[in-house]
Amino acid sequence: MNEASIPPPISPGDWLGMIGGGQLGRMYCHAAQSLGYKVAVLDPDPQSPAGAVADLHIRAAYDDQAGLKQLSERCKAITTEFENVPAQSLETLASASLVRPGAQAVAVVQDRIREKAFIKNIGVPVAPYAAIHTPQDIDAAAEGLFPGILKAARLGYDGKGQARVKTREEARQALESFGGVACVLEALLPLASELSVVMARGADGQAVFYPSARNEHRDGILAVSTVDARSPDQAIAVQAANAALAIAEGLEYVGVLCVEFFVLQDGRLIANEIAPRPHNSGHYTMNASVSSQFEQQVRVTAGLPLGGTASLCSVVMLNILGDVWFDDATGLKREPDWPAVLAVPGAKLHLYGKSEARRGRKMGHVNVLGATVADAVGAASRVAHALGIPFQP
């Protein structure tokens, strides 16, 4: 987009739109409102976390034409909080409002087959994979893809729609259990670690990057993210940022974007997945960065200058799942020990306002700050103990 065609910034006091009413939308609302904007949220759930704090909650399906019309008539610019918004809905909104990110970029990312092909075609390494549409595709898959992981091409998240498979027969059974939907079969690789890069790219092509986070997943769900503000791994961080920028530029992406990477035991960096939105691993920015990833999303949506991404301190982010509401010994529900969490210096608690705690459901997170990463890790150990969360310093 050339400079002459870039719309002027949207001023505070005006309306911004959000499709999706989950916790990411909720934190976007808070960031937008702190900058003086009003936010309209489109989401069908009457108890959605974002709808509860938005200035207007449009209770409608993501493809409801009347709801989309109401959103676009109210809001000059609209963004999303998850990748599974129908691309057609974004195209509909774009006829009357700015939509960031655009439908074409989101359409690529919401389909793992297209996503893998796109990343590979722009020269960023990915794990060996095969597109799986039928059991015959499993029979024809290369031997090197086993053992592997079968992932549904669409609508999978937090480990859902995924199965580890050692043999072709296990892959066929997994494909059948997924209902025969299109999938990607990826080879399992010898991992040393996992990291992610959260970045933002404006309509003028300017981009900023947050320090990469080292991540630990459990059962396919992010559990811990760690950022060392003093001694980041510069070489791998630069490599990851360059790969993320190539992806964003290839998508002509405008918005906040996260790319998850695998670091292999031989030091190679492999792109895993793209999230066209703020990301769980970027929640640390809410307390440990000059501008949070949500403020950044507001800035891009409104056409404002991008915010600073420098770290203010080291940080460990602990995800809080609904499991911590259940007593391990009895299985009965009880309230977590929030006073013990908040007694830890540097602990910043963020709860998402969800009405019911369920095992495996994301309910909140704690950012634990420290002058050094050792300080943050030590304090995070105390927080994890108070919540009964496994934590390996």
Binding-site residues sit at: 112, 151, 156-162, 186-189, 194, 217, 272-273
The predicted structure's pLDDT at residue 331 = 86
Provide the pairing of β-strand 221-227 with 183-187.
unpaired
Residue 176 and residue 195 in one domain: no
Q: Are residues 136 and 80 in the same domain?
A: no
Please tell me the least confidently modeled range out of 69-83, 147-161, 238-252, 313-327: 147-161
Average pLDDT over the chain, rounded to whole? 95
In this structure, are residues 165 and 149 in contact, taking their beta carbons and an 8 Å threshold? Answer: yes
pLDDT for 2 beyond 80: no
Q: Show the tokens assigned to 104.
A: 């074409």
pLDDT mean over 149-175:
88
In a domain, 264, yes or no: yes
* 1, pLDDT greater than 80: no
Classify residue 324 by burial, with Cβ atoms within 10 Å: 0-12, 13-18, 19+. Answer: buried
Look at residue 112 and tell me if it is in a domain. no
State mean pLDDT over 278-296. Answer: 98
Query: Is residue 119 included in any domain, yes or no?
Result: no
Q: Does the structure show a pLDDT above 70 at 244?
A: yes
Q: Give a yes or no: residue 310 inside a domain.
A: yes
CA distances from 273 to 115, 160, 239, 285, 330 (A): 8, 14, 16, 20, 38
CB 138 within 8 A of CB 180: no
- Looking at the fold, whether 195 and 335 belong to one and the same domain comes out as yes
Write down the pLDDT at residue 231. Answer: 75
Residue 62: inside a domain: yes
Same structural domain, 313 and 211? yes
**151 and 86 in one domain?**
no
Domain count of the fold of the chain: 3
Other CB atoms within 10 A of residue 205 CB: 14
What percent of the chain has pLDDT above 70? 97
pLDDT digits (tens, 9 = 90+) for 315-367: 999 999 999 999 988 889 999 999 999 999 999 999 999 989 999 999 999 99
**Res 156: pLDDT:** 65
Q: What is the mean pLDDT of residues 108-114?
A: 94
Same domain, 234 and 256: yes
CATH classification of the domain holding 166: 3.30.1490.20
Q: Let me know if residue 115 belongs to a domain.
A: no
Helix 234-251 and helix 112-121, axial crossing angle in degrees, nearest 10:
110
373: in domain: yes
Q: Does residue 157 surpass a pLDDT of 80?
A: no
Q: What is the pLDDT of residue 3?
A: 53
Mean pLDDT on 109-134: 96
> Are residues 282 and 382 part of one domain?
yes
Q: What range does the domain containing 54 cover?
A: 3-99
Residue 83 dihedral angles phi and psi, to the nearest 5°: -85, -5
139 in the same domain as 61: no
Q: Is the pLDDT of residue 59 over 90?
A: yes
Residues 177 and 239 in one domain: no
Q: What is the pLDDT of residues 179-233, one digit of tens each?
A: 999 999 999 999 999 999 999 999 999 999 999 999 999 988 999 999 999 876 7
pLDDT, residue 155, reads 77
Same-domain pairing of 358 and 372: yes
Question: Annotated binding site for ATP, which residues?
Answer: 112, 151, 156-162, 186-189, 194, 217, 272-273
293 with 344, same domain?
Answer: yes
Q: Is the peptide bond before 101 cis (omega within 30 degrees of 0)?
A: yes
Q: Is residue 393 situated within a structural domain?
A: no
| CATH number assigned to the domain comprising residue 57 | 3.40.50.20
Q: What is the CATH number of the domain that holds 247?
A: 3.30.470.20
- Say if residue 240 is in the same domain as residue 355: yes
In this predicted structure, what is the pLDDT of residue 220? 86
Which candidate, 336, 255, 331, 257, places its Cα nearest to that of 299?
255
Confidence check: pLDDT of 247 > 70: yes
pLDDT at 393: 77
- Give the helix/strand (H/E) hosting 226: strand 221-227
Mean pLDDT (whole number) for 86-97: 94
* pLDDT band at 283; cut points 50, 70, 90: very high
% of the chain residues with pLDDT over 90: 91
To which H or E segment does residue 192 belong?
A: strand 191-201
Q: Is the pLDDT of residue 55 over 80?
A: yes
